[in-house]
Amino acid sequence: MEPTEPSQSTPELHPDLGQLAWLVGTWRGAGVGDYPTIESFQFGQELVISHIGKPWLSHVSRSWALDPSTGEPTRPLAVETGFWRMVPDSLDAELLLAHPTGYVEIWTGHVFEKSIELITDLVGRTATAKEMTAGKRMYGIVEGVDLGWVYEMSAMGQALQPHLSARLKRDGDAG
């Protein structure tokens, strides 16, 4: 029997993910970063949240530095990949992320309509990764259409504090 290609049509979102449906899409935009151990910077970002009909969402984010005077990309920055999952019969969610810089994170949080707040439940890192011990993230729909997010981090001996924030537009949205 010959294997068949998967259908090219997008499957329906798994019913367990209804509370996260607002996240699904390709989001692009810009943000700012700052931390006591680095210089402030501007970045561009693409975040793709997708699904295949199973009870999880795929998360792939990539970012690049932006020239502050022109807004043009200058060099690649971070990449992260992972999965969003809902805790059955609740509004609690999990986000599992892996980073090529040598660490993995498990985030737990709670969905509030079209926003979610998460904290790190576990941070694991390789011997060669920079120290990162805890984080807090919030994602939410801003002004009914954009995706805003903020990231607080505890790393390199610093207390938990703001590090990154961005505002992204869903691919295809005007503006």
Tell me whether residue 132 is in a domain. Answer: yes
Tell me whether residue 10 is in a domain. Answer: no
Task: Map tokens 């022109």 to a residue.
Answer: 70
Tell me whether residue 118 is in a domain. Answer: yes
As for how many domains the chain has, the answer is: 1
Residue ranges, the chain, pLDDT below 70? 1-8, 173-175
Inter-CA distances, 107 with 25, 96, 141, 144, Å: 21, 6, 19, 25
Give which of 94, 80, 21 is closest to 47, Cα–Cα: 80
Integer Cα distance of 135 and 55 in angstroms: 25
Tell me whether residue 3 is in a domain. Answer: no
Q: For position 170, what pLDDT does the model report? A: 97
Q: For position 14, what pLDDT does the model report? A: 96
Tell me whether residue 19 is in a domain. Answer: yes
Tell me whether residue 172 is in a domain. Answer: no
Give which of 131, 153, 146, 158 is closest to 25, Cα–Cα: 146
Domain limits for position 84: 15-167
Q: What does the pLDDT look like over 82-102, one tens digit per residue?
A: 999 999 999 999 999 999 999
